[in-house]
Structure 1
């Protein structure tokens, strides 16, 4: 559709969509296909087996496999609540509801009882299983399989002594010690999906075997292209619209698109081939608003922090003076102003500004942290000379070719570093090899990373505790690790927040990374997509419950010429 035609239709849209912002009060419409441009548009499914412990599994399987807990989407800002539900893995306690869990309570400080919903069904899957009810043994099986996986994150379930079925619909979680992430770790987190044993027996890694109790069934997968999900007629949940409950999901089919080329993604959105595009860089927004003025928009500060990790177990990065020098050598204010056009925050990692009680602004930080965000090449050269590198040095930096922003930003960082005689060799890598380098701890001395903020505790644990998968700098300090462990055992929220603020300040000053600005991102959707306001995650990168509640106004779509 050309710009002139789009403009002519703008008036029509206003007439058709006067109530778009309050779409939840309209009667839902069933049917149709929802086409989604993934928030991870360049990365296809990494694995369908939950025991592979890949971070993206909830995005790909979360339409099919349910969890004990989920986001309470009734508390979204769109409906008058206070949560945007855009964070990659952050659900405050008052934003959680039971999904498979009907209720839960602590029987004593070390025992949690979870009562499951009755009547939740696994659909029949030819060659895999017959239709049957989901029961407590499925929860125990799923937990045990995750806990015994050779690929699990070290220490992840160490706080649990035993998980057992009390009866057909009751599960007991027996703790060896309190963990502040008890609900996240096996409730609504990255590795919490409940899978029937029959799928594991058939081969959980085969997408054709995937089968769960969620709103959709996986019916087609084309690597590098799309994952297609079809309505699960047995799904148990409903959505209240107005005063009436409606059976979910509303759409017949939902397609997650993998589209590596940014221009192609934008064209597909502009021409209505995508109903929603979840992640759009600021550089594309102005043109899209002009060419497709009917699009609805959400702007959000990325929940993926950016940095260049420096391996502290290799020279010269074992010297804090070198690490601090490289931070001062990069003009981060200029990156915000010139590279991002002001569409970024200078300081928003490892804690995110949305993490109330945990995040402290740069203005509240000690001077040794503020200094790392102030461009000072002269002091950088002085520190390098003190560390024994008056003529600088050279090191390799690995970067994912799947990240256009990083492919463009890294040469700019290289130019800054050259001003203090530090040169980098840029090694682009495909995502699989790039991720493997970090997880096997064979990554280069420099590693250009986009890493989810996750939540206020995990962002510190996963990045700065030895042996953790996402610790690309290989940072390790015994005293610091003990403080992290102690913080996780604090039941008092205020004390835990205080401990995490201190841990954050200290790791910032140690500078295992070149701390980089956090950009703003955009989500866009056509007005025929109803019951939606830019929500992205209902758990740990899990969108399934959101997609299940969206419907397509086919009449509006046709009237707009699509």
Structure 2
């Protein structure tokens, strides 16, 4: 069988219409012996970008303004990067690569809010239907085990004259040899550059590794893998693999010194101050043109540069944004959002679903109470999610955000299933019913409840305390063991906690099944379930090859996953992204691809006169 894809051929999605107003969820007060049914979640999780002043501002089309070149776009990061080499670290965590590099496939700007608005690009996943061929101009699936990539010609590595590594590459053209080298190194298959600690080992099974990688001509790479796993291999190669110049790796060994980074992206690194900042300058030889609007056909990027400032303290980030030192800030809480808008009604903003957190218990130890599904379901019933939505999040939260995030994209693909579409027995688990919870605990042999030792970090204390108070009403006591962030992360990634950990259960990248693969570090519940394992295999067989068939498989499995109650996921708060009005051609996009955070910068531009007129 032959599947062929060219970057100009994209299936359009039938998507829900954007909601234009903020919504609120009505509180419903019940006594402990009554059942509280949560309000139904809204069908849309992000309102269109706009300003606080008028809806007309929100409806204006920034792409009608003639773009201007120049200016620096400054972003505040909450933490320093854990690493800089995407063969050794998660591509999503190597933030600098979103400015300096390209992957084979990326989110299609013309499909997002600044174009057709078929997706919001507000999650870390961009399905193939809203993506385009970046470094891969086209690709083919041949039979059940072969992918052929046709590399885009006339793409050159950026040349920074002040960088020894960049001068080594000297702005030469990207070829299939570079892509094949990067592929092999990603899986520790490159003899000249071994990567025994390749990140792929922590996320993929050997079945998902390539069996061969071959260059067939200057612009063609042929990859073979195991039948049934080609889709997940394709995803890893096209969206999670940074493309590097072999001569740079040969000279420096790895890419963990960011100043040695040399890529094909719209910018290159000019300065790095550890735990402080990364500064990027415009790559004047970038290959991409503006695909739409008044600037269609213009050479990208418009900006002179981008700057990342590492600002771990939220109050410092907010202050930097208020004073114009940051052009953009994301993951802003409802309270901070209201205050910022009150101070400056002309700010632009968008809204998206965030991460709700929750409680994860090990399910691999038969001697622990929660090995019994009735106990896990009792914990669900003893959790008053509606109270958390109303009282903790001020009505601004999504009830169900797992195993798939409540986003426009996932709803349109048939992957997300909300409360109203769940069977009655699963809906019941999200209705607060402490009496039913006590009954299940009694049936399971725990009429007096029990204690759970729960590991967490300082940022989770408030929400965990709310849950602790609720569960005490059904006889379950959470002993909260607060750890420093680094220790908590180590315990979580190593899955070394004894009983429970606060966190886990993310729906941001459901196609990766990190929370369910038996050997995955993200599977903190220690799940090894035959039904879910079959789902993973069935999905991998179709993923990225037949998207319209693969994504609904997750939606169909959602009731079963939620019924098992492996993860006690709590409501996910809506967070806000704000930017100053001088940032143009921007409408809240976040990740144009799988974990491609902040890779929208080459499309936007700065109205420098407006910025000056506002006193910045």
| TM-score normalized with structure 2 length | 0.81
* Cα distance in 1 for residues equivalent to 2:267 and 2:505: 28
* Cα distance in 2 for residues equivalent to 1:114 and 1:383: 54
* Cα distance in 2 for residues equivalent to 1:68 and 1:87: 19
1:197 aligns with one of 246, 269, 277? 246
Is residue 330 of structure 2 the alignment partner of residue 278 of structure 1?
yes
Preserved CA contact (<8 Å) 1:305 1:349: no
Q: Which residue of 1 aligns with 2:35?
A: none
Q: Which residue of 2 aligns with 1:7?
A: none
Preserved CA contact (<8 Å) 2:360 2:524: yes
Q: Which residue of 1 aligns with 2:271?
A: 220
* Cα distance in 1 for residues equivalent to 2:453 and 2:242: 38
Preserved CA contact (<8 Å) 2:85 2:94: no
- Flag the 1:81–1:502 CA change in 2: closer, same or farther, 3 A: closer
Is residue 135 of structure 2 the alignment partner of residue 103 of structure 1?
no
CA RMSD, 1 decimal: 2.5
Deviation string, structure 1 residues 207-248 (Cα, Å, up to 9, x no partner): 222221111112333343332222222221121442642222
* Cα distance in 1 for residues equivalent to 2:141 and 2:447: 60
Deviation, 1:289, is 0.7
Q: Which residue of 2 aligns with 1:32?
A: 71
Is residue 364 of structure 2 the alignment partner of residue 313 of structure 1?
yes
Is residue 231 of structure 2 the alignment partner of residue 176 of structure 1?
no
SS of corresponding position for 2:438? helix
Identify which range, 504-513 or 59-68, moves more after superposition.
59-68
Identify which range, 125-134 or 486-495, moves more after superposition.
486-495
Is residue 443 of structure 2 the alignment partner of residue 386 of structure 1?
yes
2:384 aligns with one of 331, 340, 347? 331
The within-5 A match list for 1:114-513 is 114-124=149-159, 125-127=163-165, 129-131=168-170, 132-148=172-188, 149=195, 150=197, 151-152=199-200, 153-155=203-205, 158=208, 160-178=210-228, 179-188=230-239, 191-201=240-250, 202=252, 203-240=254-291, 241-242=293-294, 244-302=296-354, 304=355, 306-314=357-365, 315-353=368-406, 354=408, 355=410, 356=412, 357-401=414-458, 404=459, 406-449=460-503, 452-458=506-512, 461-490=513-542, 495-513=549-567
Identify which range, 155-164 or 529-538, moves more after superposition.
155-164
Deviation, 1:143, is 1.2
Preserved CA contact (<8 Å) 1:120 1:235: yes
- Flag the 1:376–1:14 CA change in 2: closer, same or farther, 3 A: closer
* Cα distance in 2 for residues equivalent to 1:496 and 1:14: 42
* Cα distance in 1 for residues equivalent to 2:522 and 2:350: 29
Deviation, 1:479, is 4.1
- Could you list the runs of 5+ residues in structure 2 that have no partner in the other structure? 1-51, 189-194
SS of corresponding position for 1:122? coil
Preserved CA contact (<8 Å) 1:62 1:193: no
Is residue 601 of structure 2 the alignment partner of residue 550 of structure 1?
no
Q: Which residue of 2 aligns with 1:92?
A: 127
Deviation, 1:187, is 0.9
* Cα distance in 1 for residues equivalent to 2:504 and 2:611: 36
For these two proteins, the number of residue pairs brought into alignment is 537
- Could you list the runs of 5+ residues in structure 1 that have no partner in the other structure? 1-12
Preserved CA contact (<8 Å) 2:82 2:94: no
More strand by share: 1
| TM-score normalized with structure 1 length | 0.89
- Flag the 1:519–1:168 CA change in 2: closer, same or farther, 3 A: same
